[in-house]
Chains A and B, each alone.
Chain A
Amino acid sequence: MSAYYRGGFLEDSWVYIPNDASLPESGVDVIVSLARWRNEISALTNHKGKLGVSINPDDQLEKDTDTLTGLSLISISFPKFSDGRGYSQARMLREQFGFKGEIRARGEVLMDQIPLMMRCGIEAFEITHEPTIAAMKAEALPAIFHSYQSPVCQQLGNIRRFQR
């Protein structure tokens, strides 16, 4: 059971398409793997519906050759919450690729890491952990307004650097 959060709990229109499955005909919003995107980019851009790409922690994003600007969404994986590669990937996507679409986190997404993900430019979350869903619904995320590092994209609270 997965809940989709982006500013609030919403209906999730996106569908993950396995590598060996063909894309649905109608205008469904689809997410394909990075490998598939790289191999079939021209075929995929014909799809009637929004396009998204899912990346894994060991995917190397190539600034010069990966065309991500046409995408509406990138899904970053946190297979274990302790695998921190997704944080770097998110920041690189925002800051180096200038990606402006939705970046969402999937995998082991827990309430203690959500604020960190947000500060790295992740704005949406696929959450399966029930207590995290409950906490987000109750708006019970801890009040953390102060941070020492510039966040990506969002002004969240009181940032040291811009204080003075």
Chain B
Amino acid sequence: MYRYDEFDQAFVEERWKQFRGQVERRLKGEITEDQFKPLRLQNGLYLQLHAYMLRIAIPYGVLQARHLRKLAEIARRFDRGFGHFTTRQNIQFNWIKLEQAPDILNELASVGMHAIQTSGNCIRNTTCDPYAGVAIDEIEDPRVWCEIIRQWSTIHPEFLFLPRKFKIAITGAAEDRAAILFHDIGIRIVKGDKNETGFAVYVGGGQGRTPVVGSRIRAFLKKEQLLSYLEAIVRVYNLHGRRDNIYKARIKILVMALGIEEFTAQVEEEWQKLDKPSIDLPATEYERIAKYFEPLALKPAPISDEQVTKRRASDPEFNSFTRNNVRAHKVPGHVSVAIALKEPGKIPGDASADQMDAVASLAERYGHNEIRVTYSQNLVLPNIALGDLLKVYDGLVAAGLASANFELITDIIACPGLDYCNLANARAIPIAQDIARRFSRLEKAEDIGHLRLNISGCINACGHHHAGNIGILGVDKKGTEHYQITLGGSPGDDASVGSILGPSFPAEELPQAIETIVETYLGLRENPKETFLSTYRRVGKEPFKRAIYDNEPSNSNGMSDALEKV
């Protein structure tokens, strides 16, 4: 993976010192909060409900063990002992003080980490497939391009004050596990006629108030031209994106307003005028970066292991874990192990400092030092020899990280919601916990099968509920927390925006409604292998609508109790 050299290191050192100066000037009153806010946002520091929240960049979701250990240390020293992994493969700390933020950035800089551009109206973290470099269906490793885009976009002087935030995702596999069609720019690695690498480029996907699947702007872009083409897109957006209304300021609005043909024409015209050689990467620089992503020299080994087979036969939890959390690897005899941070009843996506250290240890001992963060707020150890799987599993069990529910209904993607976030209408975490408890029996969850359930506490959709097979959106109805259900979303190649089912539910009734929806699916599926999404697409909304709205649900949950306790 990419290692900072002197240049990269000097860059982050300059940045944290610059931020320290900005904080000092703010505390002295030399700049106002209005003037300071974009500066602190460009370093990932939000003011949230209870305190400042710091969002630290994990570029394209790739961590070395030493990075994860540093995050654990920050959790202990500066926070309350835990961190939260996000749908953009970053990590958030909820209890940060402004006056400590420069020190934290200094600590991060010491291991080549930062919080640059994790917030603000600028280009954010470029995300990709957590199995990049190891996936069996990989066409080409997208991480090289993620690193290239990262460098190109970091403190790009022209693009730090865009109309709104800007998110790029890239996939290099047959299956899109990076949700590229829901990003401002989505990039798919493809091969040309002569098997040369190129990109299919999509623009204008997004969630929020106006969820929309991205449109293709280019079927094939030569790889050498990626940066200049991105620059043309972002410049057109910078000049013509709306600045009068923050809810209409994303590039998706511009693409919808112009239509994809006109938008494409404007980008192509601007691209022709650009001084490409000063923007596109020189071949030598490409090769320098690509070297860091050469595949590990893993020795192929037998694809079955006697110990693993024995343990699977005798240990049902391990059996489930292997079935749900373990994925085959490019190199025979190796696997990728997903660590679901979704134990039912716990806070989805959170890991304690001790857990971070435990994962770092496993990565160091068995995983070639590497950890990935997923779009679903989980972690992956991408490179585990099958012969080490049992040791890794036992290590995860000891750390309370062996939840075998990866990609099942209890692997809920949830934003922090009103418990933490200033923007939220409703809480997401207690809802996630309640739902997860109802399906906590693993056999039940496995019977339901692959199901994406996403919860957003407000229309900003940080929980990506539009892309959930079942999506839940928190709304404010006369001061009480209500939840709207959407069905049939999907983030992948078959991307679709979920469809609203009907009127919203008060908190007490929502979890039961979800149960009813699941029961309806189980009753309608053609066979146990038909997933929720497939069944929904086959039968449509009506059966589910009838099931929840024609009956009176009568279940309470602990949500209002939780509020009373507060």
Contact = CB atoms under 8 A, between A and B. Distances in A.
Asked whether any CB of A lies within 8 Å of a CB of B in the complex, the reply is yes
A40 to B, nearest CB: 26
Interface in B150-195: 151-152, 154-163
Given A146-B7, A150-B278, A63 B273 contact: yes
A147 B155 contact: yes
Contacts of B239: 85, 88-89
Nearest to B42: A112
A82 interface: yes
Contacts of A110: 31, 35
B133 to A, nearest CB: 23
Contacts of B278: 150
Contacts of B163: 84
Contacts of B155: 116, 147-149
A142 B14 contact: yes
A71 B275 CA distance: 23
Nearest to B274: A95
A82 B161 CA distance: 5
Interface stretch (A5-13, A25-33, A45-53, A156-164): A156-164
A160 B153 CA distance: 13
Interface in B233-264: 235, 238-239, 243
Contacts of A138: none
Contacts of A146: 7, 10-11, 14
Given A142-B18, A148-B151, A164 B158 contact: no
B262 to A, nearest CB: 15
B157 A120 contact: yes
Nearest to A108: B35
A16 interface: no
A87 B161 CA distance: 9
Interface string A75-99: 0000001111101110110011000
A13 to B, nearest CB: 28
Interface stretch (B202-210, B279-287, B361-369, B453-461): B279-287
B441 interface: no
Contacts of A83: 161, 243
A83 to B, nearest CB: 6
Given A88-B158, A142-B17, A160-B151, A150 B279 contact: yes
Nearest to B35: A110
Contact of B7 (A87, A88, A160): A160
Contacts of B160: 84, 87, 116
A144 interface: yes
Nearest to A96: B273
Interface in A88-142: 88-89, 91-92, 95-96, 110, 112-113, 115-117, 119-120, 131, 142
B30 interface: yes
Interface in B270-329: 273-275, 278-279, 281-282, 284-285, 288
Nearest to B11: A146
Query: Which has the most chain B C-beta neighbours within 10 Å: A81, A142, A149, A158?
Result: A149
A112 B161 contact: no
B25 interface: yes
A41 to B, nearest CB: 23
Contacts of B558: none
B273 A84 contact: no
B168 to A, nearest CB: 15
A83 B14 CA distance: 25
Interface residues of B, number: 41
Contacts of B154: 148
B280 to A, nearest CB: 10
A2 B3 CA distance: 46
Given A160-B151, A161-B285, A164-B285, A84 B7 contact: no
B565 to A, nearest CB: 41
Interface residues of A, number: 37
B18 A82 contact: no
Given A88-B158, A148-B155, A164-B288, A81 B35 contact: yes
B22 interface: yes
A88 B14 contact: no
A83 B238 CA distance: 9
B121 interface: yes
B429 to A, nearest CB: 32
A149 B156 contact: yes
B38 interface: yes
Given A85-B238, A142-B21, A158-B7, A116 B35 contact: no
Nearest to A134: B30
A20 to B, nearest CB: 27
A125 to B, nearest CB: 15
B39 interface: yes
Contact of A87 (B151, B158, B282): B158
B288 A84 contact: no
A155 to B, nearest CB: 12
A109 to B, nearest CB: 11
A21 interface: no
A158 B21 CA distance: 21
Contacts of A81: 35, 38, 161
A102 to B, nearest CB: 19
B161 A84 contact: yes
B22 A149 contact: no
A95 B285 CA distance: 23
Contacts of B282: 161, 164
Contacts of B152: 148-149
A116 B157 contact: yes
Contacts of A164: 282, 284-285, 288
B7 A163 contact: yes
Interface in B12-51: 14, 17-18, 21-22, 25, 30-31, 35, 38-39
23 contacts: A81-B38, A81-B161, A82-B38, A84-B163, A87-B157, A88-B239, A91-B158, A92-B273, A113-B161, A115-B157, A131-B31, A142-B18, A142-B21, A143-B17, A144-B14, A144-B18, A146-B11, A148-B11, A148-B151, A149-B155, A150-B278, A160-B151, A164-B285
Give 9 closest A-B pairs by Cβ, nearest first: A84-B161, A119-B157, A116-B157, A131-B30, A142-B18, A87-B158, A146-B11, A150-B278, A148-B151
